[in-house]
Structure 1
């Protein structure tokens, strides 16, 4: 019995909470290593999913989904993963970050149809419970398999910051220096500005795509297939774009992906058949490779020492606009019976993101000194 704006508000709360956390989680990962940070995020996500199975009312959903799962997503998000991968993969970081980010698309490809099947055959509560229990298995894997990334003595020696007092830890002053320098740079604001538009579009489209499709006479099954197609194309695009960006740079690929998403939204605005919806899903799925390229570009411009903190702030902008996108979509439909008033600014934001990316100075991926894995545990 919830209207679409009320449901979208839960996703907006999730987006805000998951956007506030990354700078702090990223800073912890920069300084102490990502293992415990990622483990805490995985645990929060799993517990939140299980608690959602017992939802009695809308306010409970706001707290559990919005706050608990939002915290988990923010803690175990892209900024912490980038802090981990940037040290292990100095030469092919675009490829590494893209492959890691395809986990979201692969999960969508597999879990969305599975969750839909559980909802149809059992209940939505069972779907949350089973998903949460499955996610709980990730927690011990984080503790057992993750090791501290290799040290960055070369970059440490080149900086003016003091040596770390604890082996394997970066000094807090170094992280603050790097973060402040990023805030003063043109590249940071161009990347962050484009990524804000990305956040608005992704949450608007992912939250309301299925409802928009069924409103136009497309079956729920076909809408579910389109969601899976978005995830599948995201996996393929992520691998290809990441590898390509290591060869030619990130700038022109970001421009192309943002323009492709603008076209995808225009296709969705006119979609009145399953074929048109599938075309949208293909274009939208391919365009979602931009996230890993933004992360790689942040490292290209600002180095690896404070990437968790810097990318955390970029992610904050993305998630705050994501909250706005999810809520605006529901509000537009509840007030007008159409999503047009929400989709039109989405196109404008994607064009703006492409323009911002075009203004970037081309920074070819740096070829850093090869770092050997450390045997030191976290």
Structure 2
């Protein structure tokens, strides 16, 4: 029996994952470093929290929202053109931002340059990494997502130091050079995986977007980013307004970045035994807890107690935010399959981008209007709680779509909670071949697979694409044991 595509879980895939993490680190770190410059920019242009936070909101909206376009471009052209064009727009926009004389120019230069430019390669990098892995996909996705945590942790103090030495204009120029160098290194590390026949990806995507699980992920993504991006865009300025010195306020951002790395690696390492969907919900549940702690800090008078509570808030926020982002790509592949994965992830990132456009201005303008940072924090906590309610009922099983194709795990089995209409044709892999036995599994998987191969071949197997690849068992399920047994449709056909 063939071992399946040799590139899956290979050393080249790990190199690609590390290169993707570098690109994500440079993109997220540079965008989030805007918080270090925000107060100086507000003082120079004579504005409050709202107008400055709108720059950040537009940028993050385009950063995630442009995935609606970049996902389709990735499915068609691959990653290299997107990283080259997007990286050039990103660095050029940052350098041009340092030259602005009126604030609204920043809405265009910082927003379009860093937002749309970075968005051209951000979501595709997660889809790219998913195509390189089967058994270790959750960990690989965690490595890529760790890039954003590293960027938050490393670039925030770097930006603060550059601000003190060169001012916000010189600091942005320096960051543009740093980001360009990182993108160049990452470009040599990243490689497109060999193509696998995924069948009719367009039809598959049309079925995915009609599922309840897709809209639950989309809606919860909006609530998630309204709360998280709103807080990331205001935590430094709010902390300074609440009495913390600038370096202590920026240190909170570093803590968020470090705890985000911990959350990414810890939760993705637990994806196999506990299930990535379950962990995604747990990560989201941490957000309302974080905002409750943050709100409590606004009612504390002692500066040391306030700072201690803010450290706890930043740690919980980082773990929740990091874990959710790291698991998102793996959950998407697990639920919906790999066919048209770039497009599906692009749509999910776009929905998240709409929340990013709302969150920072909502918190900034609310704080300006009320003169109290407690109210916007409380609003964010309520929004996060609503997102938890939306996500909790989502199924943990792959959707039983007739076009569902691997390698995210075993073929999906029909469940009573499945929202999909009946298939219009027989699935490519007969479900009876992979149905779990009614009694506890005691025989080796290889024996059960050999028994399945002795059964008669159906017409659907003869017509199926030759490169469709199924590893057994599902690497996301906690109730299955044993090593994965790779099986291709061609193997099944030849055996008969």
Q: Same fold (TM over 0.5)?
A: yes
Q: Distance in 2 between matches of 1:249 and 1:345?
A: 31
Cα RMSD for the two superposed structures: 1.8
User: Aligned with 1:262: secondary structure?
Assistant: helix
Normalising to structure 2: TM-score of the pair? 0.68
Q: Distance in 1 between matches of 2:107 and 2:52?
A: 9
1:133 alignment partner in structure 2: 177
Pick the aligned partner of 1:222 from 223, 248, 257: 248
Q: How far is the alpha carbon of 1:363 from its aligned partner?
A: 2.6
Pick the aligned partner of 1:302 from 328, 332, 336: 336
Q: Distance in 1 between matches of 2:285 and 2:260?
A: 16
2:461 alignment partner in structure 1: none
Question: Does 2:409 align with 1:366?
Answer: yes
Contact 2:94 2:176 (8 Å CA) reproduced: yes
- Which deviates the most, 5-14 or 226-235? 5-14
Q: Distance in 1 between matches of 2:88 and 2:273?
A: 37
Pick the aligned partner of 1:281 from 295, 314, 317: 314
User: Aligned with 2:146: secondary structure?
Assistant: helix
Q: Distance in 2 between matches of 1:113 and 1:19?
A: 24
Pick the aligned partner of 2:101 from 56, 65, 68: 56
Q: How far is the alpha carbon of 1:349 from its aligned partner?
A: 2.2
Q: Does 1 or 2 have the higher relative contact order (CA < 8 Å, sep 6+)?
A: 1
Contact 1:82 1:307 (8 Å CA) reproduced: no
Q: Distance in 2 between matches of 1:287 and 1:150?
A: 34
1:348 alignment partner in structure 2: 382
Map 1:1-378 onto structure 2 (within 5 A): 1-77=46-122, 79-153=123-197, 156=198, 159=199, 161=200, 174=201, 176-271=202-297, 272=300, 273-288=306-321, 289-363=323-397, 366=409, 368-369=470-471
Q: Distance in 2 between matches of 1:105 and 1:55?
A: 29
Q: How far is the alpha carbon of 1:16 from its aligned partner?
A: 3.1
Deviations 1:92-139 (A, max 9, x none): 211111110111110111111111011012211111111101111234
User: Aligned with 1:189: secondary structure?
Assistant: helix
Q: Distance in 2 between matches of 1:180 and 1:229?
A: 41
What runs of 5+ residues in structure 2 fail to find an aligned partner?
1-45, 301-305, 399-407, 411-469, 472-485, 488-496
Q: How far is the alpha carbon of 1:233 from its aligned partner?
A: 0.6
2:414 alignment partner in structure 1: none
Q: Distance in 2 between matches of 1:64 and 1:299?
A: 34
Q: Distance in 2 between matches of 1:192 and 1:360?
A: 11
| Structure with the bigger percentage of helix | 1
* Corresponding residue pairs, total: 352
Q: How far is the alpha carbon of 1:30 from its aligned partner?
A: 1.7
Q: Distance in 2 between matches of 1:247 and 1:46?
A: 41
Q: Distance in 1 between matches of 2:169 and 2:126?
A: 33
Distance change in 2, residues 1:354/1:138 (3 Å)? same
Q: How far is the alpha carbon of 1:143 from its aligned partner?
A: 4.0
Distance change in 2, residues 1:330/1:104 (3 Å)? same
Select the structure of larger CA radius of gyration.
Answer: 2
Q: Distance in 2 between matches of 1:199 and 1:14?
A: 13
1:166 alignment partner in structure 2: none
Contact 1:46 1:135 (8 Å CA) reproduced: yes
Contact 1:47 1:136 (8 Å CA) reproduced: no
User: Aligned with 2:239: secondary structure?
Assistant: helix
Q: Distance in 2 between matches of 1:137 and 1:336?
A: 43
Contact 2:146 2:326 (8 Å CA) reproduced: no
1:167 alignment partner in structure 2: none
Q: Distance in 1 between matches of 2:292 and 2:194?
A: 45
Q: Distance in 2 between matches of 1:217 and 1:48?
A: 33
Distance change in 2, residues 1:286/1:20 (3 Å)? closer
Deviations 1:199-228 (A, max 9, x none): 101211111111221222122221111110
